[in-house]
Amino acid sequence: MGYLKRVEEKELHSFFEGNLKDLIRDDKLKSYVVDLMIDFAHNNRIPFLYDGHLGVMGFDSGESQNRIKMYNYFKETGDIYLFLCGFFPEYLVKRKKSGLGLKSSMESGRISYRYAVSLGAKIRDEELAIETLSRVSKNFKEITKAIFDFRNKIDGGRLLRLNPETIREIKEVMYDGESIIDKFRVPLLNLH
């Protein structure tokens, strides 16, 4: 997605929103994912060197300042897991020695958002996206699938060339064992 950094944010917004409109029907969730995708594209936040573990740690609900830092940490961790699970699930599958698998990574992302929501409720700052993060956590799997389906549009179905073990794990974890071949035959809407 490095080439997307040169594209204006308005064009990226239209591109992501147009290609996600049939994949994420909830407007708030779609808006959150579009903003996340733009942030990863523009700020080069794509974690290519994923080491297999981001870590979801416990938290101390001490001072307000610490709560805000922890809220941001858990939201960021959830965002990274959401992006990795949807856009690069092949780096998370069990065959990678350091990874715990796609299912475990998806659960870690969902839990990270839940921790952020819990901390956000204690902070009581109206600018925090507590309701949206709660919905992202509850719909983590569906959003991950939408991002993966979007990636398949971009790749023109080339993901079918992933190794069979990887495809099997993606199929089992994201699609509950359903065939994923038809998911790759949807045309991509262009930036222009």
**pLDDT for the residue 6:** 63
Whether 47 is covered by a domain: the verdict is yes
Whether 139 is covered by a domain: the verdict is yes
Whether 190 is covered by a domain: the verdict is no
**pLDDT for the residue 29:** 94
Say how far apart CA 150 and CA 141 lie, in whole Å: 14
Whether 22 is covered by a domain: the verdict is yes
Whole-prediction pTM: 0.81
In terms of residue numbers, what domain contains 40?
A: 2-184
User: Half-sphere exposure of residue 174, counting CA atoms within 13 Å on the CB side?
Assistant: 29
Whether 16 is covered by a domain: the verdict is yes
**pLDDT for the residue 67:** 83
Assign 32 to helix, strand or coil: helix
Say how far apart CA 189 and CA 158 lie, in whole Å: 17
| Cβ–Cβ < 8 Å for 60, 119 | no
Whether 192 is covered by a domain: the verdict is no
| Cβ–Cβ < 8 Å for 42, 9 | yes
First-residue to last-residue Cα distance in the chain = 17
Whether 44 is covered by a domain: the verdict is yes
Into how many domains does the chain fold? Answer: 1
Per-residue pLDDT of the chain (192 residues; tens, 9 = 90+): 545 556 678 888 888 899 898 899 999 999 999 999 888 887 766 554 444 445 544 545 456 578 888 999 999 999 999 999 998 888 888 755 555 789 999 999 999 999 999 998 888 776 678 899 999 999 999 999 999 988 888 877 666 677 888 888 888 999 887 766 555 554 445 544
Whether 191 is covered by a domain: the verdict is no
